[in-house]
Amino acid sequence: MIDASALGGRALVDVAVSKARFRKGRSRVGVIGLGYVGLPLAQAIATSGHSVLGFDIDPTKIEILAAGRSYIRHIDGAGLAAFRAQGRFDATTDFSRLGEMDAILVCVPTPLTRQREPDLSYVAETTRQIARTLRPGQLIVLESTTYPGTVAEVMKPILEQGGLISGRDFFLAYSPEREDPGNIDFATASIPKVVGGDGPEALRLAMALYSEVVQHIVPVSTIETAEAVKLTENIFRAVNIALVNELKVVFDAMGIDVWEVIEAAKTKPFGYMPFYPGPGLGGHCIPIDPFYLTWKAREFGLSTRLVELAGEVNTAMPRYVMARLGEALDQIQRRGFNGSRILVLGVAYKKNVDDVRESPALSLIELIEGRGATVDFHDPFVAQLPPMREHASLHGRRGVSWDEALAGHYDAALIATDHDGLDYAALADAVPLILDTRNACHRAGVQRPHIVKA
C-alpha cells in the first residue's frame, strides 16, 4: 500500500480539471454492466450526488429500470426511480453515449471457458466500444475480477489504437469490486475501495472520483497490484473453504460432527478464523478467481498446486453430497435414486439472495436427475431459473411454493442453501429424510433422527 500524499509529479491540466469536477459533483459517470456489481455501484454514485448513466446490452434490464423497478432484490427500485426523476440516474443500451462520460467504470462478467481458462471476451468487446468514442481526459476503470496484467495487456492496447495515449490523453485504473450481496452490515459506500492506476495521474483521478462515493480509499502502487488484491481475497476464501470441506469428509468418516468442531474451535480468540463447509462453491468470484491465477502463473512457468488442489476439492463437493444422499436414501428410506422424488431447498448460491450464478444446487439437481430421480426446488428468492451457460437444460424451470413443498410427498429434501425465515421444523415434519449441507436445521433448533448432515 502507498501513501497517496507522497505521490510525486505535477498533475496534468486535464487531471486537475477533472478532479475538481468530480469533487463538485458535476461529472458524468458511466457504469457498463448493470448486474450485481454495476447496479449497486451506480446507485452509490447517484447517492453521492454525481450523475450516472448505466449501460447494458440487455434491453429488458433497461425497461425494468425505466419503469421504476429493480431486478435485484437488495436494490431499491423506488430509490433509483427517485434518482431518475432528479436527473441523477438513467440507463441505456446506446453505447455511442460513452463519449459523453467523464469516467467509465466497467463491471462486466469475467467467466471461465469450458476448459477453465479466462474468458475476457466481455472485457475486450466493452473496451472496443469505449475506444470508438474515447476522448481526451476520460477516466476508464475496470472493476471486473481478473488476473494481473489484464488492463495493461488487453484493455490498454485497444484503447490506444486510435492514437490517444494512456497517462497523457486518457487515464486507466483498476479498482476491484467487493460487493457482498445480502450482507446487511456492508454496502458499496462502506466497503474500503482498493485503487491502482496506470501512472500517478490516473491514480489521483481515480481516487478523486471514488472518494466521492466510498468512505475509505486504499491506494496501491500499480494496477497489477490492485488486480492481485482481488484474487488474493477470494483465493484465501476458496482455499479455506476447501480445507473445511475436506475436514468434513474425514470427520464424517470418523463419526465426528465438523460443525461442532468449528463452533468449538472458533472460541479461540487468536490464530483461528472460522470457515464453513457446504455443497460446493457458488457466486461470481470464489469458484472462478483461483483459475485466473493458475492460468496466468503458467505464463511464468509456475504452478499453483495448493490453489489447484483447493479447486479440485470444492468442485468435487456436489458429487460427495449426491453420494451421501444416496447412502441416506438406502439406509433410511430403503430405496435408491431411481423413481425417488427429491426436493432441493435453495438454489441461490448463498442465503438470502436471489443470485444463482455458479450455484452448486444447480449441479446437484442435474446429478440427482441423472440417477433417475425427479427433482423439484423451492427458493423464496428464486421463482424461476434464468438462462445459464453451464446449465442450459434448467432454464425456465419454476420452483414449487412452500405449501407445495410441504405437501409434495417427497422421499427426501436436500438443503443446499440455508435461507433465513424458513420453517425447518415444518419441513422435518413433512419429509421423511433431510440431507442438510448447511447445518440449517441444527441452528434452527430442529433435531430429528431422519436429519442427516452432509
- Who contacts 301 (Cβ-Cβ below 8 Å, separation ≥6)? none
Question: 152 and 199 in contact (C-beta within 8 Å)?
Answer: no
* Residue 125, C-alpha cell as written in the block: 468487446
| Active-site residue list | 285
Place of cell 454495476: 38
Kindly state the cell numbers that stand for 398: 419454476
219 CB burial (10 A radius; 0-12, 13-18, 19+) = buried
State the Cα–Cα distance between residues 344 and 156, nearest whole angstrom.
45
The phi, psi pair for 291, rounded to 5°, reads -70, -25
Dist. CA 68–CA 173, nearest whole Å: 32
Give the CA diameter of the chain: 77
- Contacts by 308-316 with C-beta closer than 8 Å and gap 24+? 309/242, 310/235, 310/238, 310/239, 310/241, 310/242, 310/243, 311/238, 311/242, 313/242, 313/245, 313/246, 314/238, 314/241, 314/242, 314/245, 314/280, 314/281, 314/287, 315/280, 315/281, 315/287
- C-alpha R_g of the chain: 24
Sequence-separated (6 or more) residues with CB below 8 Å from residue 246: 313
How many CB atoms neighbour CB 386 within 10 A? 14
Q: Which residues contact 147 (CB under 8 A, 6 or more apart)?
A: 118, 227, 231, 292, 293, 295, 296
What letter would DSSP give residue 400?
Answer: P
Q: Which residue has the cell 456436489?
A: 318
434-436, strands of its sheet edge to edge: 374-378, 341-345, 412-415, 434-436, 451-453
Under 8 Å between Cβ of 329 and 411: yes
What is the residue whose three cell numbers read 441505456?
92
Measured CA distances, 220 to 6, 61, 193, 383 (Å): 12, 34, 10, 42
